[in-house]
Amino acid sequence: MKLIGADTSPYVRKVRIVMAEKKIEYQYEREDVWAPDSKIQQANPLGKVPALIMDDGGAVFDSRVIVEYLDNLTPVHRLIPPSGRARVEVKCWEALGDGLLDAAILLRIEQTQREEGQRSPKWMARQMGKIEAALGAMASGLEDKAWACDGKYTLADIAVGCALGYLDFRFPQLGWRAQYRNLARHAEKLFARPSFAETAPK
């Protein structure tokens, strides 16, 4: 299998962490999706990473689809409950983590790829509102539990960790740790895992 990705992408990081936790071997190919000669559309018509090229040459894209495929590939360290309420809760946590990232990335694009006069303060405030609401929802969902969902380490924790890690990487001034002590403790525990440490964005 080959994963096409970028070290700074939090969605790619989520897939790489799942690969590591499940001990799946793969080839990692870095791709600059913003380069004019990028070949990413051969694997994903939407022009985004991550994209996974399976052993039969077929391509799978969108991190949520990829991690679900990987979790079913081997029974080693199941990260998504097979059915029921726990399954939908884990997927909702993942949607929350990814949704925080969607807002953070839109905000960053507005801040870095537009001239100051072209930026929309209203649009940026809207995205920041989503980031803050997602952090609040994560903090109240986590409470003082050891894990986000299902009493064990799951994809929910991985998605939360990737979202918080991205805020540290791109928005260090946000200072979310002071407001959300339980998320700060959770992040510390997650970031100490080899799968997180080896994929930290630089």
Ligand X SMILES: N[C@@H](CCC(=O)N[C@@H](CS)C(=O)NCC(=O)O)C(=O)O
Question: Which spans of this chain sit near ligand X (rule: CB under 6 A)?
Answer: 9, 11, 33, 47-50, 62-64, 98, 105
User: For residues 81 and 97, which CB has a smaller minimum distance to ligand X in the complex?
Assistant: 97
Q: Return d(Cα 97, Cα 160) in angstroms, integer.
A: 5
Q: Letter for the amino acid at 87?
A: R
Q: How many CB atoms lie within 10 A of CB 176?
A: 18
Q: How far is CA 57 from the centre of its chain?
A: 25
- In single-letter form, the type of residue at position 187 comes to A
Length, in residues, of the chain? 202
How do strand 2-5 and strand 51-53 relate by DSSP bridges?
antiparallel
Exposure b/e, 20-36, CB count within 10 A at least 16 = b = bbbeeeeeeeebebeee
For ligand X, give the closer residue by CB, 38 or 72. Answer: 38
3-state secondary structure of 141: helix
Q: Which run of H or of E encompasses 7?
A: none
Alpha helices in 36-145 (DSSP H): 63-73, 84-113, 121-142
Least distance from C-beta 143 to ligand X, angstroms? 27
Instruction: Compute the least distance from the CB of residue 151 to ligand X, in Å.
Output: 26
102 vs 132, which CB is nearer to ligand X? 102
User: For ligand X, which is the closer residue by CB, 11 or 93?
Assistant: 11
CA distance 71 to 15: 10
Of residues 38 and 179, the one with the C-beta less far from ligand X: 38
Least distance to ligand X, CB of residue 168, Å: 15
Give min distance, CB of 120 to ligand X, in A: 18
Task: Tell me how far, at minimum, the Cβ of 78 lies from ligand X, in Å.
Answer: 21
Q: Least CB distance from residue 61 to ligand X, whole Å?
A: 7
| Nearer CB in complex with ligand X: 68/98 | 98
